[in-house]
Structure 1
Amino acid sequence: MEFLTGDDMLEGPAAAMGVVLRMTNQLAQLRGQQLPPLAWQWRSPAGRVQRRPGTPARRVSRPDVLVVPGWVARSGAHLNQLVLRDGAACQRLRAVHADGGQVVALHTGVALLGAAGLLDDRAAVAPWPFIPRVMHLAPRVRLADNEAWIEDERVWTADSPTLATELLLRVLATCGLR
């Protein structure tokens, strides 16, 4: 698993997901597994892996899951600036998805999936203040009504960062972790 990290990123939801991953590894250890089943890392949009306390030492070359936690954006124009600034991550998003991985975007992170072309002809959700910006970046997206999160062909979107841990558990179940 890999988390996109950088300036103005929503750290809280990603940190909460990290706690779930650590707890999952601890439970596996209590059940007698020698090696933790999950490894994760933090990567900047430019591709640099960043070490953080509590993160397993082993590196992940091609993650099964890539999470875009989203940014603290003040407006659609500001979100557009953040997407342009961190657009180097789009290639990584496309590569992980093309290799069969799950791509998860929380809140404003949905816009980066749009810029990467991963929302084209897919159902997705977006936070309502940023729907026009997401539609601009992904004009062929099918926005779902009355859904807080949705998955379409291994592309997961959630309109609120508060859904981070619930969404992660669903993604892990999809990947076969029970």
Structure 2
Amino acid sequence: MVHQVAVLALDTVIGYDMAIPPQIFVEATDRNGDCLYKVRICGLDRSPVRVASGYTMVPDHDASILAEADTVIIPGTRIEGPRRHGVLPPEIGEALATVPSHARIMSICTGAFVLGAAGILDDRPATTHWAHADEFRELYPKVALNENVLFVDDGDVLTSAGLGAGVDLCLHVIRRDHGTEVANRAARYCVVPPWREGGQSQYIDRHIPDHGTDGTAPTRTWALGRLHEPLDLATLAGHARMSVRTFSRRFRAETGMSPGTWLTRQRIEHARHLLETTDLPVDGVAERAGLGTGASLRQHMHAALGVSPLAYRKTFRAG
């Protein structure tokens, strides 16, 4: 069945954010070329909605379509109550109350403020645009905010960082629903990378001295081609021609995570790709991904994804 996606545009909506879901999800097709998602944009009613970049949009639908949705997405918005006062307007609360209990809820950029005001993010991990992280924390202290990542997947509630990170989140959802092949095909058509390395921290506006070609990026590229090899911190620092301490500090400044965390994440992603695209046994996948044994791979996948390698392969190879 076609997955129903409803995008709720709230005045004043960020036009770029609003346009991402219909563009990305509509390009997700099965092997017969049939669309896997139907995306509709709505307002609280069908009145014109102001767009932050200087025009007005007239939605084809009102909020009644939220009751039919499998996924509801709140794009970035400058709406006063959630953005400035931590208050959810009653009409938005009423609209969100109609969302089915089985539905997935997502936000792009400052759409997270709406979910925060609705209490949906209480005691959950989440992200939003790095430039608004401080005000978000002040308004919604119950949320475990992490502005260093591109998106956060907390199962039935997902949030993305600013603007273009909405593309990353939508592709992640397609990958989660239907596997790498479908997500890569959608990304290729939209001429965007299917997966961006690193997190939002690399975009945060802060003073970092210009080190020319002395950054850790060449070493990260080098490591990605050697995930099956033993790569400890000293080896990575040696390739970068830095001390371990300097390399660790620079690496975290550029990616928002430690070298060990980054390396484990890349190995898990490579293992997922191998599980989806090859018939290698679990031990073979673990070895090629640099995770050692099948037992180690199972432990890492349970921690990161909540499923075993065989369950993951069964789901996504079938998809």
Structure 2 residue ranges without an equivalent (≥5): 48-57, 183-319
RMSD over aligned Cα atoms: 3.3
Say whether residues 1:51 and 2:87 are aligned partners. no
Distance 1:114 1:78 in 2: 8
Shift of 1:43: 1.6
Distance 1:109 1:61 in 2: 19
In structure 2, relative to structure 1, the CA distance for the partners of 1:145 and 1:10 (3 Å cut) is closer
Counterpart of 1:64 in structure 2 is 70
Counterpart of 2:32 in structure 1 is 31
Letter in 2 for 1:31: N
Identical counterparts, % of pairs:
21
Equivalent in 83, 88, 91 of residue 88 of structure 1: 91
Shift of 1:127: 2.2
TM-score normalized with structure 1 length: 0.72
Letter in 2 for 1:159: A
Shift of 1:164: 1.7
Shift of 1:104: 1.1
Shift of 1:61: 4.1
Q: 3-state DSSP class of the match of 1:164?
A: helix
In structure 2, relative to structure 1, the CA distance for the partners of 1:151 and 1:47 (3 Å cut) is farther
Equivalent in 93, 100, 103 of residue 102 of structure 2: 100
Distance 2:173 2:139 in 1: 25
Q: 3-state DSSP class of the match of 1:50?
A: coil
Counterpart of 1:15 in structure 2 is 19
Q: Retained in 2: the 8 A contact 1:149–1:158?
A: yes
Shift of 1:141: 0.7
Counterpart of 2:142 in structure 1 is 140
Shift of 1:110: 0.7
Distance 1:111 1:60 in 2: 19
In structure 2, relative to structure 1, the CA distance for the partners of 1:126 and 1:61 (3 Å cut) is closer
Distance 1:78 1:88 in 2: 13
Distance 2:14 2:90 in 1: 17
Distance 1:13 1:145 in 2: 18
Residues matched between the structures, number = 163
Q: Retained in 2: the 8 A contact 1:124–1:150?
A: yes
TM-score normalized with structure 2 length: 0.43
Shift of 1:72: 4.7
Shift of 1:116: 0.8
Greater relative CO (CA pairs within 8 A, separation 6+)? 1
In structure 2, relative to structure 1, the CA distance for the partners of 1:45 and 1:23 (3 Å cut) is same
Shift of 1:84: 5.1
Distance 1:61 1:2 in 2: 9
Letter in 1 for 2:102: G
Distance 2:46 2:93 in 1: 11
Q: Retained in 2: the 8 A contact 1:40–1:60?
A: no
Counterpart of 1:56 in structure 2 is none
Structure 1 residue ranges without an equivalent (≥5): 53-58
More strand by share: 1
In structure 2, relative to structure 1, the CA distance for the partners of 1:139 and 1:20 (3 Å cut) is same
Greater C-alpha Rg: 2
Distance 1:21 1:129 in 2: 27
Q: Retained in 2: the 8 A contact 1:107–1:161?
A: yes
